[in-house]
Amino acid sequence: MHQWETYLKVHRSRFVEELSEFLRIASVSSLPEHAGDVRRAGCWVAERMRAAGIEHVGIMETGGHPVVYGDWLHAAGKPTILIYGHFDTQPVDPVDLWTQPPFDPVVRENRIYARGASDDKGNMLIPILSVESLLKTRGELPVNLKFFFEGQEEIGSPNLPDFIASHTELLACDMVLSADGGQWAEGQPSLTLGLRGLCALQIDVTGAARDVHSGTYGGTFRNPIHALARIIAALHDTDGRVAVDGFYDKVRALSAEERARLATVPFDETDYRSKLGIDELFGETGFSTIERAWIRPTLEINGIWGGFQGEGTKTVIPSKAHAKITCRLVPDQNPREIRGLVARFIRKIAPSGVTVTVREVASVAEPFVVPEDFQGNQAARRVHRELFGVEPYFVRMGGSIPVCGLFLKHLNAYTVNFAFGLKDENVHAPDEFFRLSSFETGQRAYVRILEELAAG
């Protein structure tokens, strides 16, 4: 057994106690009353990094919740790896569905229960501990490391684009390891080769200058809700394809080989439907459910409102009706370009007699893909095989992690997802937990991937 391995074993229970301490800090980034706790969590992380032997550790201001930076840069000639994670958490509502208070961690059956246990405090603490085990036993690391932990991931990292763009020298690296995320299933690792991008819009439809009586005026002018419904209905054809002109023009077609590889990822439709609680799946004709979720772009209405929403009846024709749209995008769609195409299409199909305004919303994320043969992926794959004894699945994700696109854009660095959460760990839900077995496997995995990356 390596010395670092022995170190991790010996300090096992101290690490769990430290994770507990970290989890006691209610660092909910979306709630202003917890802003101090988010900062306190950042300070805790900084202290813990210093204790591990990481250098130049500091809290840095972003204009919102702070980030924590630290590095160890003494591996001359070796690559520089940036490790990413976040120390903020989701809110705890509905708190009455928790078995114990969400910020009062308990260990049951080798799992630690608390808000943030899996997402992302347990996961982001792992590389710090791995680095400690190497520095305390060998006094050095196989590669150069930079740590970049943020406190606003759960609110969409509003200050991160500016921060990264203005700190490209500080953050410069050869690649990123993201300690935020997970594996496919217990005993089954996975490598994420792509994430969808995002753009957002809002439609505002105005009819009369004020709400008017639907008896007196009904039938004589265009009801803005009717107009909005017509617009939304026209955004997709009956085959589930987005009807916006040019929407698919730049979508990079997947090779037959890539599609075949996706098809090897197991997918149980009955299970998928039953988890969603729906009878029937529906989506773009000609693609599997996994393809619809991972490699095909979408346009979804996230919210709609206008007029009376109370109990009973109010006979009004509302002045205004609204809808929120987000599109998920795939290579090589450009979020700003697609946003413009959607806006133009809506203006084109807007019925007369109402004023239709399309607002382009600031949130954007570039679609992200990393080549399967990227050396970071191949290093991760070797570690997966070694620790799990099986080949990882090569997967994509339907969601967007804007930071991956930011690292690629500003640092020219690919991100490899290297984290150990599992899908059943109630992330963003009551009774979130993290497996202590994953916590330990993760620590060994991080040492091993740093060694693999040093070998090149």
Applying CB under 8 A, does 375 fall inside the site for a second copy? no
Query: Which DSSP string corresponds to 160-219?
Result: HHHHHHT-HHHH--SEEEE-S-B-SBTTB-EEEEEE-EEEEEEEEEE-SSS-EETTTSTT
Q: Does 270 contact a second copy by CB under 8 A?
A: no
User: CA nearest 88: which of 157, 166, 161?
Assistant: 157
Choose the binding region for a second copy from 34-42, 166-174, 319-327, 380-388 (rule: CB under 8 A).
Answer: 319-327
Instruction: Note whether 398 binds a second copy by CB under 8 A.
Output: yes
Candidates 376, 374, 384; CA nearest to 445 is 384
* The one among 324, 344, 382, 409 contacting a second copy by CB under 8 A: 324
Stretch 129-158: interaction string toward a second copy, x if CB under 8 A:
---------------------------x--
Closest approach of a second copy to the CB of residue 267, in Å? 11
Name which of 215, 21, 194 is nearest 122 in CA terms.
Answer: 21
For residue 399, state whether it binds a second copy (rule: CB under 8 A): yes
Per-residue burial over 50-87, b = 16 or more CB atoms within 10 Å of its CB, e = otherwise: eebbbeebeeeebebbbbbbbbbeebeebbbbbbbbbb
Does position 396 interact with a second copy (CB under 8 A)? The reply is no
Shortest spacing between CB 89 and a second copy, in angstroms: 17
Cα–Cα dist 342/326, whole Å: 10
CB of 264 to a second copy, least distance (A): 19
Looking up tokens 């792992």, which residue turns up? 126
Give the residue, chosen from 32, 139, 312, 456, that forms a contact with a second copy under the rule CB under 8 A: 312
217 vs 374, which CB is nearer to a second copy? 217
Site for a second copy in 326-365 (CB under 8 A): 326, 328, 351-354, 361, 363
For position 284 contacting a second copy by CB under 8 A, the verdict is: yes
**Least distance in Å: CB of 133 to a second copy?**
34
Q: Please, which of residues 35-74 interact with a second copy by CB under 8 A?
A: none
Cβ(288)–Cβ(366) under 8 Å? no
Question: If binding is defined by CB under 8 A, does position 309 make contact with a second copy?
Answer: yes
**Interface with a second copy in residues 155-214 (CB under 8 A):** 156, 196, 198, 200, 207-210, 212-214
Total of residues contacting a second copy (CB under 8 A): 81
Distance CA 17, CA 36 (A): 22
Strand 190-195 relative to strand 106-108: parallel, antiparallel, unpaired?
Answer: unpaired
